[in-house]
Amino acid sequence: LVRLAFFAIITLLLSTLQAALHQAQELSRTDPVTGALNTRAFTELLQAEIERSRRTGRPFTLAYCDVDNFKAVNDRYGHQAGDEVLKAVVCALQEHSRANDIVARLGGDEFAVLLIETEASAGRAIVERLRQDLLDKLRSGGRPVTVSMGAVTFEQPPASANEAIRRADELMYE
């Protein structure tokens, strides 16, 4: 009976520890405000897509998004309103992207969408639809923000995930 009780206690402790570990892993990969993937998780998945593109020869598109006038929302309406804008951005990007695409908050008011196995023409159409849907959602919230987006299609995989993000970011500024 003592052994059975000891076994039950150990099993319960291990189960609790496993659940806590799983929760910690999830928290380390997601943005606490929006629930989207964070930079670390996104970079890992982007690197995996680069490797897959090298193996298969299939292109992918990376879109970079920045919320314009975001600081004005925080300054005028408060940080809670700013958080609501960030959540609305993630919601719109997730709602209007495909199921296998990956949405992440890279930090501050910057986001990325990885369009897996997407050629330039399809990527352009998807990014334009995302941009328009995002603007519509932000306007309906009554906040004075817009979005800038840049996208690059990689027919040949870049050297690294950081290089891919840098190129998409540069195009966003153009």
DSSP calls for 12-27: HHHHHHHHHHHHHHHH
- Predicted local distance difference test score (pLDDT) of residue 143: 75
Tokens of 55: 């193996």
- Predicted local distance difference test score (pLDDT) of residue 27: 60
**Residue 4 phi, psi (nearest 5):** -65, -45
Confidence of residue 171 (pLDDT cuts 50, 70, 90): very high
Give the three-state DSSP class for 127.
Answer: helix
Q: Is 30 exposed, middle or buried (0-12, 13-18, 19+ CB in 10 A)?
A: middle
- Cα angle, residue 110 at apex, residues 105 and 115 outer, rounded to 5°: 65
